[in-house]
Chains A and B, each alone.
Chain A
């Protein structure tokens, strides 16, 4: 609103103008306070989770708002429950899925923009239509296919292979490549470059933001996926962190032991938050491009 107030002063005589300026500074003050309230509101759940991760149940139940003394115990518990293994598994699976998605999407996007072949719009339509089908719609039949017909139950193959074909990625790269001037590929052809050389030397350096945007969404999506691994993987040695979180209970007390679970939740949230916050800018640029073209 401040911006509006200031703009309104365009036709005002000087004394009034000064009056408005004072109003601006006070209203800005309120904005800061309101924004801090919003920030605290957004941060409170995870902040409290971090606090509880240092406490035992007794401290949590009496609403102790200072760090408790059970951090070491909680850490020992989650380590005993093999959180390191779970994190490593998740990292490996998420990396494979992300890498696969990005590489396949780049190739598909390239095929759809830089080549002529019969049935191109049909192929693009088939890929695009898959955007419409959320995984949850097919999950029962997919479970039957992967577990029963392919026999991939309890393998990482089941976690990675069905996930690597990405209509979102293809769409994003197709739009991005289509926005790059065709003169570049014409020039590359005149210089005798093969499509792969053109891809590596020209397209990839021009696609940093799009690649980053895709890596961010795909990695976070893969890291956070829960339902599919819950169904298809039962071997704890192969399990991912999202499913493993509920096993972080110490199993001694009746009901949930909140400390270890919250410690696990905080640890599990660090990688996606870190990636998202660090790559925020490129991520937004990559999307702005996709939206405007």
Chain B
């Protein structure tokens, strides 16, 4: 009890200091401190009371080792997760209270009042609710309830197909950065490594997801813009070319997976390797070498998305005002400079749109491609976050750990959405539109 009380006090004081420092501009020093104290108190209570302060119980602790500049320390993984959790929730409370304090009087009135838009039907009080009910109920039951359930299941020892669950503190989360069987060891600038991790399986999975996203976005957008530059020219048959290029959009991940398995794998002698042999070259281990396998997934996914990107970029390029390009060429800009300094800035809203769509795709929708192309192998080299959720939750039947991983996925969505708002919120074009 005493440690729980001390923990809450500490969170309140640290919350006051951190939030006070970060939000002092909008609240003043004293206001910031007060806001931070309230947020810290709420943040620690709303997370630790449901968790029954289990983080403080040595029985729940798990450890990993961390080597920085040759110094090795042992870190409590449960404590790390607990602190991160309290910090995140505290920050969310601080932002929410801050926003409400500044905007509530202006917006509060309108939230519950019907707006007075013209053209609305008068005298139908119940119809809108009947119209909305199926959608709202459907989302509540099949989106919001499972999303909330993730947070409950994440703290439970839950087995697939078994209704009963047992509370196991932050085990599921801590086992993402280390494990009970064998402590993970992270090396930063030590033992001759800049960065190295041992027994950190989930980190490698996360790395795969990031790798896929980066390269799929890069390849699908570079090629997409290049092809769109050609396809947006005023030439005969332009619309036929476009149709002939965008249809892969309609192809399923499964088909992409099996067709690329045929092209790249094919029992070791697929189309590409046979072609290489005919050319007198060595066959390549497309699906059996970790890096080649990752590259194969990127190639398959980029091929799948390329058509859609071309479609959007063609529309974007055709909307670039001619006058700007003319003006640039009169000023002596060559084709490359015109592309870099006129075309790219003008189509940048579309670039951001496509990049975010592709990012979402490559983080969340690659399961079918990977499952049918590499099955996550060789040795997890192409296992990404979603594939691992299914691996753990369905194949290993560990629903609790899979729920914890789903929350990590959710964090990725929140991060991507936040970035999207930040980037899209800014004006990225110069005039036009």
Contacts and interface: CB of A to CB of B under 8 A. Distances in A.
- Please tell me the size bucket of the interface on B: 35 or more
Interface string B243-269: 111111111111110111111001101
A148 to B, nearest CB: 6
A172 interface: no
Nearest to A106: B131
B271 interface: yes
Contacts of B371: 226
B110 interface: yes
B135 A245 contact: no
A45 interface: yes
B427 interface: no
Contact of A42 (B144, B160, B303): B303
B146 interface: yes
A141 interface: yes
A243 B368 CA distance: 9
B259 A104 contact: no
A112 B149 CA distance: 29
Contacts, number: 319
B262 A262 contact: yes
A119 B112 contact: yes
B136 A126 contact: yes
Interface in B111-146: 111-122, 124-125, 127-129, 131-132, 134-139, 141-146
B255 A265 contact: yes
Interface of A: 1-4, 7-8, 10-11, 28, 31-32, 34-35, 38-39, 42-43, 45-46, 48-49, 52, 60-63, 104-105, 107-108, 110-123, 126-127, 130, 132-145, 147-148, 161-162, 164-167, 170, 181-186, 189, 195, 198, 220, 223-224, 226-227, 231, 242-243, 245-246, 255-256, 258, 261-262, 265, 268-269, 272-273, 275-277, 280, 284, 288
9 A-B pairs with least C-beta separation: A182-B119, A165-B138, A224-B252, A141-B146, A116-B114, A115-B128, A111-B131, A111-B128, A138-B146
Interface of B: 110-122, 124-125, 127-129, 131-132, 134-139, 141-147, 149-150, 153, 158, 160-161, 163, 227, 229-231, 233-235, 241, 243-256, 258-263, 266-267, 269, 271, 274-275, 278, 303, 306-307, 311, 315, 322, 325-326, 329-330, 335, 338, 360, 364-365, 367-368, 371-372, 386, 389-390, 393-394, 399, 402-403, 406, 409-410, 413-414, 417
